[in-house]
Structure 1
Amino acid sequence: MTRPTSRDVATAAGVSQATVSLVLGDKWRGRVSERTADLVREAATTLGYRPNLAARNLRLGTTRTALLVVPALTNEFFARVYTGAARIAAEHGFGVVLYPSPDGTGPARDPFASARAALDGVIASSMAADTLEAIGGATLPLVMLDSDPAAGGSAHVNLAMADGMRQIVHHLQDHGHRRFLHLASAIDTWTFRVRAEALTTHLGPHTELRTVRAHLSVDAARTAMETALATPGHDRPTAVICDDDILAAGACKAARRLGLRIPQDLSVTGFDDLALATAVEPELTTIHLPAERIGEQGMTALLAVLEGTPWTAPDLPVNLVVRDSSGPAPKAP
């Protein structure tokens, strides 16, 4: 059986081959009517037509492939970002290659003989633009996720991280907390700096704040918190605000080892709303980050850049999820 061609689709729909190319390439909006686009899609479906993407890519000089660079695969946040990006990519005939940078947030190495030849663009989550030069960050279209909007890149997609920290602070202050400990990430990146600055900004007068840093692991957080919490009761913080859920899980383990009850003696909050947040006991009060949504917007932004269309969007909203790890501040003895 002869494979149907774009000319066959054009004949069946009563349109030109150029119109078929516009519709099936998803570039028809503003150029042909929605009714015509429907006719072309119906004709293509009836005939069983599939565009020859390999030949099309050779003509256009593109690979229809994007690279998603992440600091690590051990955090499910990045897996969810990939899921969102891949969903939008598939709708437009693109593929997404997931690349965990071997050096975390440090300078990324080129995973190909030449990224410039293998890729149409790069999406980077929680990285700095200057760490991506080896994989074409200076020459390929580059979309930055959860990164400094003042840094390089063709487009940026961010979450409202500062507002998330504001929600946590207000929640705890409404429960009477005045002595806080910030269990901060030891990784110096823009997203964690934003959280620290927002925490300081939103704490009101007559509050105390100490900061302890730990690497992003449960054991590192537990060790740091066992030392930080081993203070007399009247000096001990009543609430621990953690930069992410992994640190919060470590904080909870430390509290239990020291005989502290959560939340009766100590409230603990996280950030990210990972599956871990409901696996620990008590379940974590945390900030939900729409990870799949940021992946979707990242791929949408890259497609816009490739089309030569300016792309801007407000920060994606985040929301506080209140669970059992936070409660009223303990009464002074």
Structure 2
Amino acid sequence: MSAGLFPAGRVTVEDVARRAGVSTATVSRAVNGTARVAQETLDRVQHAIDELGFRPTPAAQNLRQQRTRNIALVVPTITNPFFPELVAGVAPEITRRGSSLLLLSTDDPEGEATRVAQSRLADGILLVGSMERSGVRQRTPHLDLPVVAFDRAAASLRTTVVQCDNAAGARAVVTHLAGLGHRHIAHLRGPRGLDVADQRARGHRRALLELGLDARLEVEGDFSEESGYAAALRLLDGPERPTAVFAANDLMAIGALAAFRARGVRVPEEISVAGFDGIRLGRYLHPTLTTYAQPIAEIAQRAVTLVLDAVDSGSPLPRGRSAPHVLTLAGELVVGGSTSAVPS
């Protein structure tokens, strides 16, 4: 049977399936990349498409390369306003490079990334690591497509990571508070074992020790407003009330502000509060929030560029032998109305 018997636009999936000797479902899976198909079958389907003059669609044109033109972005939550801001930074660059964004929110980002890779739903994956503690889960096998983690490293995947210099940012906040005369600076830290939380806690402690100040005043939360609220109350009820609080993220800082307000403690007149992330909401609080603003747009841009360059070139991403390859970017201290000189 020649291609001339099937004028362009009249060849159907059924025609391709008959010529390739497969089911129409197999043709659909092969063309759309929605599931794994054996290479031999892919070759037969592509040969039938070429022979019959099947009208090319974007997916069919990419069949030989098994390209979906999708980039998956997997996040642990969309309730934290920091993550939608990351999405806003990612989407325009993905579109500009001719791909589409597949957004997935799940409490198991690494597991979801593995499922996406195995089903070939995307050409590459951007991943915000989960709240799983480092070392708790066994590492999964190498994924056969580019994966870049940003903000948080993945607990069970060894990937290239793009993130803020968290330790340097924490030190900048502590230095700012100490410069205002504060000597009792507490830290509302994030979950132990989570890389960004540990890095910020180390930066906080190191800065205090270098300044000759007590670094023991530390209460753990989980990055939520509720945990910031509860941790702030613990500080107020403790044996020694701090004059300043550095929260490991802006949401915990917002929770602390609410707790102090509920107890009638004035910010910043009686206690200063600073956060980390630089989410837009902090600009509209009263008082406005002092924070270390992550370079969200730059982190997103670098992560997308790494993934798409690897997809386009077929070259592997840089990886460390026993630890992730980490690219760190500097943020900026933004001084708001929530910090002031130590109360006299």
| Of 156, 176, 179, the match for 1:174 | 179
Deviation of the 1:153 alpha carbon: 4.1
Contact 1:267 1:325 in 2 (8 A): yes
CA deviations over 1:39-73 (Å, ceiling 9, x no partner): xxxxxxxxxxxx95333211322111111111110
User: Partner residue of 2:298?
Assistant: 293
- Match in the other structure for 1:28: none
User: Which of the numbers 192, 214, 233 marks the counterpart of 1:208?
Assistant: 214
1:80 to 61, 77, 85: 85
1:195 paired to 2:208: no
Q: Is the aligned partner of 1:68 residue 2:76?
A: no
Structure 1 residues 98 and 149 mapped into 2: Cα distance closer, same or farther (>3 Å)?
closer
Residues 1:119 and 2:118 are matched in the alignment: no
Normalising by the residue count of structure 2, what TM-score does the alignment of the two structures yield? 0.72
Whether the aligned pair in 2 keeps the contact of 1:181 and 1:237 (CA below 8 Å) is yes
Mapping for residues 1-333 of structure 1, pairs under 5 Å: 53-103=58-108, 107-109=110-112, 115-127=118-130, 138-148=143-153, 153=158, 155-186=160-191, 188-203=193-208, 204-209=210-215, 210-231=217-238, 235-306=240-311, 307-309=313-315, 314-331=327-344
Post-superposition shift, 1:149? Answer: 9.6
Distance 1:123 1:137 in 2: 15
Kindly indicate whether the alpha-carbon contact (under 8 Å) linking 2:114 and 2:143 is maintained by their aligned counterparts in 1. no
Question: Judging changes above 3 Å, is the alpha-carbon distance between structure 1 residues 201 and 217 closer, same or farther for their aligned structure 2 residues?
Answer: same
Q: Distance in 2 between matches of 1:309 and 1:216?
A: 36
Cα distance, 1:137 vs structure 2: 5.8
**Cα 1:132–1:93 shift into 2, 3 Å:** farther
Supply the distance in 1 between the matched residues of 2:65 and 2:152 (Cα, whole angstroms). 31
Question: Cα 1:185–1:63, aligned 2, differ >3 Å: closer, same or farther?
Answer: same
Residue 237 of structure 2 aligns to which amino acid in structure 1? A
Q: CA RMSD in A?
A: 3.1
Q: Give the 3-state SS of the residue equivalent to 1:268 in structure 2.
A: strand
Give the Cα separation in 1 of the matches to 2:127 and 2:113. 13
Match of 1:10 in 2: none
Q: Distance in 1 between matches of 2:57 and 2:138?
A: 32
Q: Give distance in 2, aligned partners of 1:238 and 1:137.
A: 48
SS of 2:188's equivalent in the other structure is: strand
SS class of match (2:338): coil
Q: What residue is the counterpart of 2:4 in the other structure?
A: none
* % identity of equivalent residues: 30
| CA pair 122-314 structure 1, distance change in 2 beyond 3 A | closer
Q: 1:259: Cα distance to partner?
A: 2.3
Q: Does the aligned pair in 2 maintain the 1:101–1:108 contact within 8 Å? A: no
The 8 Å contact of residues 113 and 127 in structure 2, kept in 1 or not, is answered as no
Q: How far apart in 2 are the matches of 1:67 and 1:133? A: 20
Contact 2:186 2:242 in 1 (8 A): yes
Residue 243 of structure 1, CA deviation: 0.7
Larger mean CA deviation between 316-325 and 139-148 belongs to 139-148
3-state secondary structure, aligned to 1:271: strand
> Runs of 5+ in structure 1 lacking a partner?
4-50
Q: Distance in 2 between matches of 1:63 and 1:199?
A: 44
Unpaired stretches in structure 2, ≥5 consecutive residues: 1-7, 10-55, 319-325
